[in-house]
Amino acid sequence: MTKAFEEVQDLIPRNAFLIMTFALAATAAFMFVCSFIEEIGTPIWMSAATAVIFAGMIIFCFVVKLRVIIEDNVVSIRLLKRYDIKFEEIIDFKTGDISIIRNYSGWGIKKVAFKNLVCVGYDNGISLKVTGRRVFTISLTDPEAFASLLPAPSPPQS
pLDDT digits (tens, 9 = 90+) for 79-116: 999 999 999 999 999 999 988 776 665 666 677 888 88
Average pLDDT over residues 24-50: 89
Mean pLDDT for all residues in the chain: 88
Average pLDDT over residues 27-46: 88
For residues 158 and 148, give the distance between their C-alpha atoms in angstroms, rounded to a whole number. 27
For residues 74 and 103, give the distance between their C-alpha atoms in angstroms, rounded to a whole number. 25
Please state, as a whole number, how many other Cβ atoms lie within 10 Å of the Cβ of residue 19. 12
Average pLDDT over residues 5-29: 94
Q: What is the DSSP letter of 155?
A: P
Pairing of strands 81-86, 74-79: antiparallel
More confident residue, 24 or 2: 24
pLDDT of 125 strictly over 60: yes
The pTM of this model reads 0.80
Asked if 105 and 125 touch (Cβ cutoff 8 Å), the reply is no
User: Which residues, 6+ apart, have CB-to-CB distance to 3 below 8 Å?
Assistant: 69, 70, 71
Asked if 9 and 139 touch (Cβ cutoff 8 Å), the reply is yes
Tell me what pLDDT residue 109 has.
66
In the chain, where do the E strands start and end? 3-10, 65-71, 74-79, 81-86, 90-97, 113-117, 124-130, 134-139
For residues 115 and 90, give the distance between their C-alpha atoms in angstroms, rounded to a whole number. 14
For residues 54 and 57, give the distance between their C-alpha atoms in angstroms, rounded to a whole number. 5
Percentage of the chain modeled with pLDDT above 90 = 61
pLDDT of 131 strictly over 70: yes
Tell me what pLDDT residue 41 has.
80
Asked if 103 and 120 touch (Cβ cutoff 8 Å), the reply is no
More confident residue, 109 or 134: 134
Q: What is the DSSP letter of 35?
A: T
Tell me what pLDDT residue 37 has.
87
pLDDT of 29 strictly over 90: yes
Tell me what pLDDT residue 155 has.
62
